[in-house]
Amino acid sequence: MRGIEGVTSRCRAYAAGVYGGMGIRSSLVACALALVVAGCGDDATPTLDAAVGCTADVQCSDGVHCNGTERCLPGDPLANTFGCVAGSDPCAGIGACLEVERACDDSCATPDGDADGADRIECGGDDCDDTDAERYPGNAEICDTEGHDEDCDLNTVGALDRDRDGFIDARCFNEGGAAGTDCNDLEVTVSPVAPETCNGRDDDCDGDVDEGVTLAGFVDADADGRGDDGAELNACPGAARFALIGADCDDADLSVQPVQNEICDAKDNDCDGIVDEDARPAIWYEDADGDGYGDARGTRVTQCVPPPSGYSLLPTDCAPDDPDRSPVAVEVCNGLDDDCNGVADFAAAPGDFEDDDGDGVPDASCGGGDCDDLDPFVGAGLPEYCNGRDDDCDGMIDEELTESDFYVDRDGDGYGVGAAMPLCTDVPGLAPRAGDCDDLDPGTTLGARERCDGIDNDCDGTIDEDAAESCFGPNATYLCVAGACEVATCTGSYGDCDGRASTGCEEDLTTDGAVPHCGQCGVSCAACTAGVCPAAPTRVTLDTTVLLPTAAMVPGVPAVAPETAPLRSGVSDMDGRLILGLPGPTPVVVGGAANLVPTVFDVGPTGPTNRARMFVQFLRPVGVMPLTGTERLAAEALAGTTQRAGMGMVAVEVGITPVTPTPVTLDLPSDPPLGFERARPLSASGGAAIDGTTQMLLFLNVEPGPVRASGSACRTTSSPGRVYPGALTVIVLDCAP
């Protein structure tokens, strides 16, 4: 018994015809007529309440003659949820059952008993089921969870692939035949050919979870990246409060761990037994919700003494406005990522998380209200449709409904297009929701999760908004640039040394021994110790010509090398000089105090290779100064826009000025390993150009990451090549005069 098929056979045929690109076999008028007729007489199918069940045989009738008379027998072992027991073929042992005539045929006088256009096999045709008008060769196969074979081929199960990974949803099947193989069709990283990764899921659909991939490590109670040697733990990389490396001498204080710089706080921050030796400035991140962890996109300050309150050394808060969600919070069954490891992963059972379908309603198996956590349209509080299903998980089906509007849904994603059809049944190929902006792509639909792919996945008219949330890798925060994920910053002592967004910040730059990355990506060392290599260049001086060309001394100016670990930082002395111990050439952000713009320099063993000479000389007279504080308003007025937290500025200067106006474009590559082939251009507003009167262009709100400037007949003579949050990157061009 497949539900009220007799009532809906013509509706199903219509949907199948449109879905498969075939001629429409039945019109909407015939469909509506079938519904009207079915609503009268003995074959009517009243709405059933799952909590009550049937009380009479008429409530169990599906209106189909050839599958026999259904009976109301609550308690029978063969009864369904409502107490109904399926009937049997009334023509068994007699001949073929003719659905249209509602009779038996022991000859071939009527070879097409179900009037679907195909003769039954016994009469020389190829219809494998002449009692079912929805089953015949050439009919469009539709993914359904009833095991119904539409095309007389048990090996085809439809084409529902919502995550677009090339594998059909495992809930699509034919009874006695094939089935889909994707055990989670809502997650692109899960399929039969996916590698098993350590994440609490069955990634390769073999029925086992995390087999052979867990690693030995330590409990990291303060989530600072280093664990307690006395608390060993086997878990997955990236798991909340888990570290692969131990040696944390105070696992309850995130400002204390072996690779933390000493700061001015009367603590032994680096676990070497000495307090505040060689203390230096650190970057502090705004902690608006007071949970102890900062916002990577919020306000930053650079200083040695801890701010009074509202700042943290770690920018790892995934919910900056919610004090109950942080890296040390405990995951609960609420459909949210409470512990900031990138997923809502309260485990109701091995491999079964709290919200596998992403509808925001936690699984009923862990106390939530979702009675089907693999269907994003089923859950407590969601709309109820007249479709024979308990959509809102209240234990009742189609309560108080007589019909719902259905729409053709070619891609099976739950949203349709075209004219509304008032029905009261679940018809494969139709959906009770409209609004699909691409009905041939199940991954693009109303309410879908926006992915970083250059496509409007959620059909809201905007591309890739908030799509950085779909990017995930260990020890990293992300940006979505030109349809591709890009690492924005690394956390802790980790670096993004392979340039691949999918692996996050994969290298611990403080690993001891012979390593390819010591203290900084690309610095090979035979005897690395806590990020310091004795054989590598270790000291460089930033003198006053860098800090401010027009001044003799600028004391108290901070400098930070953001890509080093431990983080190298310092403050200029009374002579305006600053010495940093750097593992090799690396960008350094200088400024942010003494009315100096925080500016990015490319620093090598002999000092900076780029100098902001013209920027300071040109802008200082008109008051365009730091990105923080009141003087930022002058820069915003100059550019005609507001500078946002977490973004950078780029100033493009010229050494040789062109006579002809030369437009300048910034190229922001979407994927650093591919170079600039996929660069997204950012042009100066209003088509601004460099010429004899305009010697500098200022770009605000530039996303952090690699950058270059280009102009016709111009070449770059100085550039650190990267934008950092809250800092200014200066690029100098020489253009043909």
Residue-wise pLDDT for 519-536, tens only, equals 888 888 888 888 888 876
Please indicate whether residue 718 or residue 540 has the higher confidence score (pLDDT). 718
In this structure, are residues 707 and 680 in contact, taking their beta carbons and an 8 Å threshold? no
What sign does the CA torsion over 81, 83, 84, 85 have?
A: positive
pLDDT level of residue 628 (50, 70, 90 thresholds) = very low
Confidence at residue 288, expressed as pLDDT on a 0 to 100 scale: 94
Q: Is the peptide bond before 706 cis (omega within 30 degrees of 0)?
A: no
In this structure, are residues 224 and 247 in contact, taking their beta carbons and an 8 Å threshold? no
Distance from CA of residue 80 to its chain's centroid?
A: 39
pLDDT at 397 over 50: yes
Separation of alpha carbons 367 and 334, rounded Å = 9
pLDDT at 195 over 60: yes
Residue with tokens 């950092």, as numbered in its chain:
724
Confidence at residue 98, expressed as pLDDT on a 0 to 100 scale: 83
Which stretches of 560-706 are DSSP H helices?
A: 613-619, 632-639
pLDDT tens for 21-30 read 333 233 332 3
Angle between helices 28-38 and 5-19 (to 10 degrees): 170
Q: Which long-range contacts (CB under 8 A, 24 or more apart) does 108-114 make?
A: 113/66, 114/66
Tell me the residue type at 477: T
pLDDT at 666 over 80: no
Confidence at residue 404, expressed as pLDDT on a 0 to 100 scale: 94
Task: State the DSSP string of 57-74.
Answer: GGGG--S-STT---EE-T
Separation of alpha carbons 703 and 452, rounded Å = 15
Separation of alpha carbons 392 and 410, rounded Å = 24
pLDDT at 271 over 50: yes
User: In whole numbers, what is the pLDDT of the chain averaged over residues?
Assistant: 78
**Under 8 Å CB-to-CB from 304, ≥6 apart: which residues?**
263, 264, 279, 280, 281, 282, 571
pLDDT tens for 80-102 read 878 899 888 888 878 788 888 88
- Residues making up the chain, counted from first to last: 737
What percentage of the chain exceeds 70 in pLDDT?
78
Tell me the residue type at 450: E
Strands (DSSP E) found in 510-598: 513-515, 525-528, 540-542, 558-561, 568-571, 578-580, 586-590
pLDDT tens for 335-382 read 899 999 888 889 888 888 999 888 889 999 999 999 999 888 999 999
Which of 12-26, 259-273, 720-734 is predicted least confidently?
12-26
Question: Across residues 637-659, what is the average pLDDT?
Answer: 68
In this structure, are residues 367 and 333 in contact, taking their beta carbons and an 8 Å threshold? yes
DSSP assignment, residue 532?
Answer: B
User: Smallest Cα–Cα separation from 589: which of 617, 621, 628, 550?
Assistant: 628
pLDDT at 106 over 50: yes
What percentage of the chain exceeds 90 in pLDDT?
26
Separation of alpha carbons 637 and 477, rounded Å = 30
Q: For residue 125, count CB atoms less than 10 angstroms from its CB and return exposed for 0-12, middle for 13-18, buried for 19 or more.
A: middle
Q: For residue 404, count other CB atoms closer than 10 A to its CB.
A: 20
The four Cα atoms 666, 295, 362, 407 give a dihedral, to 10 degrees, of: -30
Separation of alpha carbons 730 and 629, rounded Å = 20
Confidence at residue 309, expressed as pLDDT on a 0 to 100 scale: 87
Distance from CA of residue 223 to its chain's centroid?
A: 22
User: Smallest Cα–Cα separation from 635: which of 699, 691, 721, 541?
Assistant: 699
Separation of alpha carbons 158 and 591, rounded Å = 61
Task: State the DSSP string of 204-253.
Answer: TSSS-SSTTT-EEEEE-TT-SS---TTSEEEE-TT-TTEES----S-TT-
Confidence at residue 609, expressed as pLDDT on a 0 to 100 scale: 60
Confidence at residue 36, expressed as pLDDT on a 0 to 100 scale: 30
- Tokens for 347, please give them: 């485990």
pLDDT level of residue 558 (50, 70, 90 thresholds) = confident
Separation of alpha carbons 215 and 246, rounded Å = 13
pLDDT level of residue 219 (50, 70, 90 thresholds) = very high
Separation of alpha carbons 50 and 57, rounded Å = 16
Confidence at residue 377, expressed as pLDDT on a 0 to 100 scale: 92
pLDDT at 167 over 90: yes
Q: What pTM value is reported for the model?
A: 0.58
- Tokens for 531, please give them: 């990020």
Q: For residue 484, count CB atoms less than 10 angstroms from its CB and return exposed for 0-12, middle for 13-18, buried for 19 or more.
A: buried
Separation of alpha carbons 321 and 543, rounded Å = 41
Confidence at residue 312, expressed as pLDDT on a 0 to 100 scale: 94
Confidence at residue 483, expressed as pLDDT on a 0 to 100 scale: 82
pLDDT level of residue 385 (50, 70, 90 thresholds) = very high
**Under 8 Å CB-to-CB from 203, ≥6 apart: which residues?**
189, 190, 194, 195, 196, 197
Separation of alpha carbons 468 and 480, rounded Å = 5
pLDDT level of residue 620 (50, 70, 90 thresholds) = very low
**Under 8 Å CB-to-CB from 52, ≥6 apart: which residues?**
none
Q: Which range, 4-13, 120-129, 235-244, 321-330, is most confident? A: 321-330
Separation of alpha carbons 71 and 664, rounded Å = 78
Confidence at residue 615, expressed as pLDDT on a 0 to 100 scale: 36
pLDDT at 287 over 70: yes
Distance from CA of residue 201 to its chain's centroid?
A: 16
User: Smallest Cα–Cα separation from 472: which of 502, 507, 450, 500?
Assistant: 502
pLDDT level of residue 394 (50, 70, 90 thresholds) = very high
**Under 8 Å CB-to-CB from 21, ≥6 apart: which residues?**
140
Q: For residue 674, count other CB atoms closer than 10 A to its CB.
A: 12
pLDDT tens for 429-473 read 899 999 999 988 887 888 888 888 888 989 999 888 888 878 877
Tell me the residue type at 195: P
Which stretches of 232-321 are DSSP H helices?
A: none
Confidence at residue 403, expressed as pLDDT on a 0 to 100 scale: 92
Q: State the pairing for strand pair 599-604/728-735.
A: parallel
Q: In DSSP terms, which residues pair with 601 in a beta bridge? A: 588
Separation of alpha carbons 714 and 712, rounded Å = 5
Strands (DSSP E) found in 424-547: 430-431, 476-481, 484-490, 494-495, 507-508, 513-515, 525-528, 540-542
DSSP assignment, residue 703?
Answer: P
In this structure, are residues 45 and 62 in contact, taking their beta carbons and an 8 Å threshold? yes
Which of 469-478, 595-604, 663-672 is predicted least confidently?
663-672
**Under 8 Å CB-to-CB from 254, ≥6 apart: which residues?**
222, 223, 224, 292, 293, 312, 313, 314
